[in-house]
């Protein structure tokens, strides 16, 4: 049984699927995993105030128009967020779950690439600047569409919010890919494609689930799978993981339901050996669970 109410889970799924660009509202439901009484309103108001401040600064510099130079916009956003507001990447405690909670990132002014990017996106949106999330492997980035350039930049700017808004060239992105994926990783410009709202929220949740599993905080990890399935009900990996986490928590009926459903949706022999091993292990779990559940009757 999830500790999150069905209402919260459904609302998260609804907000994740809306066509608007609002990421903050669904992101502020994620901290309810740890703080059930959290009120999101003050944090949304804080982002509104930051966006208004940024909009006023851009207007004062004559940058509040569609043809404003992207480099000038990034420079102003970086100055405000990283120099004045002191947002910074949390290198010392990267695996701290608080880095994945937007309210904590706003309070503590520190986070991981994707949550710092979320702050950047929300402040930019409120100030009239077009900013786009980039689901780059291993390290979330931002893309600022280029306006008329007077500084030699003709393409969109790639921004790294974890490193104080550093601008990345294509060679920088290639090096970043090799760092996170491996020396044999092949760079493809499609890796810098825009990320959708569901993709961004799912990545936040996957980061958090990984951290909770490493901490052996299985109840929280199970709740995260509920939110992931609310974003994408067809995510078979999350269905499987929810069942496995229920097994860890001795919720055998729920585990049997999810793992049996997973096997029903993945019929036939898997193609590669890794998938075959996974399928066999799940089938062994299901047989064990059937015996355990039957013994309770």
Asked if 139 and 252 sit in the same domain, the reply is no
Q: What is the pLDDT of residue 68?
A: 84
Asked if 172 and 259 sit in the same domain, the reply is no
Q: What is the pLDDT of residue 1?
A: 63
pLDDT tens across 205-238, in order?
999 999 999 999 999 999 999 999 999 999 999 9
Asked if 297 and 177 sit in the same domain, the reply is no
Asked if 55 and 184 sit in the same domain, the reply is yes
Asked if 140 and 256 sit in the same domain, the reply is no
Q: What is the pLDDT of residue 66?
A: 78
From CA 5, how far away is CA 35, in angstroms rounded?
13
Asked if 91 and 10 sit in the same domain, the reply is yes
Residue 216 resides in a domain: no
Is the pTM higher than 0.85? The answer reads yes
Q: What is the pLDDT of residue 97?
A: 97
Residue 140 resides in a domain: yes
Residue 18 resides in a domain: yes
Residue 296 resides in a domain: yes
Asked if 239 and 188 sit in the same domain, the reply is no
From CA 147, how far away is CA 149, in angstroms rounded?
6
Residue ranges for the chain with pLDDT beneath 70: 1, 147-154, 268-276, 296-297
Q: What is the pLDDT of residue 295?
A: 75
Tally of domains in the chain: 2
Q: 51 near 76, Cβ under 8 Å?
A: no
Residue 204 resides in a domain: no
Q: What is the pLDDT of residue 65?
A: 83
Which of these, 61, 58, 60, 105, lies nearest to 86 by C-alpha position? 105
Residue 198 resides in a domain: no
The rounded Cα 116 to chain-centroid distance in angstroms is 11
| Domain final residue, candidates 140, 163, 192 | 192
Residue 218 resides in a domain: no
| Domain final residue, candidates 126, 161, 192 | 192
Q: What is the pLDDT of residue 43?
A: 98
From CA 133, how far away is CA 118, in angstroms rounded?
8
Q: Which domain holds residue 142?
A: 6-192
Asked if 16 and 117 sit in the same domain, the reply is yes
Which of these, 61, 51, 59, 113, lies nearest to 85 by C-alpha position? 51
Contacts of 12 (CB under 8 A, 6+ apart): 26, 29, 30, 227, 230, 231
Two tokens at 71?
Answer: 């480099």
| Domain final residue, candidates 138, 160, 192 | 192
Residue 223 resides in a domain: no
β-strands 110-111, 88-89 pairing:
parallel
Asked if 61 and 174 sit in the same domain, the reply is yes
Asked if 257 and 179 sit in the same domain, the reply is no
Q: What is the pLDDT of residue 279?
A: 84
Asked if 160 and 253 sit in the same domain, the reply is no
């Amino acid at each position: 049984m999830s500790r999150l109410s069905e209402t919260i889970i459904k609302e998260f799924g609804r907000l994740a699927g809306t066509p608007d660009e609002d990421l903050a509202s669904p992101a502020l439901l994620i901290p309810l995993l740890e703080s059930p009484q959290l009120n999101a309103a003050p944090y949304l108001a804080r982002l509104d105030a930051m966006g208004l401040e940024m909009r006023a600064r851009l207007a004062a510099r004559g940058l509040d128009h569609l043809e404003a130079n992207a480099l000038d916009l990034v420079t102003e956003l970086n100055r405000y967020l990283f120099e004045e507001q002191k947002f910074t990447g949390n290198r010392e405690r990267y695996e701290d779950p608080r880095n994945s909670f937007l309210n904590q990132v706003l309070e503590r002014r520190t986070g991981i690439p994707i949550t710092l990017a979320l702050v950047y996106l929300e402040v930019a949106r409120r100030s009239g600047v077009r900013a786009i999330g980039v689901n780059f492997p291993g390290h979330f980035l931002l893309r600022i569409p280029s306006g008329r350039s007077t500084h030699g930049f003709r393409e969109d700017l790639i921004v790294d919010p974890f490193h104080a808004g550093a601008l990345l060239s294509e060679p920088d992105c290639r090096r970043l890919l090799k760092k996170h994926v491996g020396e044999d990783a092949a760079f493809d410009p499609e890796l810098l494609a825009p990320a959708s709202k569901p993709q961004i929220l799912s990545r936040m949740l996957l980061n958090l689930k990984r951290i909770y599993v490493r901490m052996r905080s299985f109840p929280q990890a199970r709740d995260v799978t509920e939110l992931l399935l609310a974003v994408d009900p067809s995510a078979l990996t999350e269905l499987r993981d929810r069942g496995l986490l229920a097994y860890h928590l001795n919720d055998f009926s729920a585990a049997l339901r999810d793992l049996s459903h997973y096997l029903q949706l993945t019929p036939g022999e898997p193609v590669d050996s890794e998938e075959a091993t996974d399928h066999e292990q799940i089938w062994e779990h299901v047989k064990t669970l059937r015996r355990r559940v039957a013994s309770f009757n």
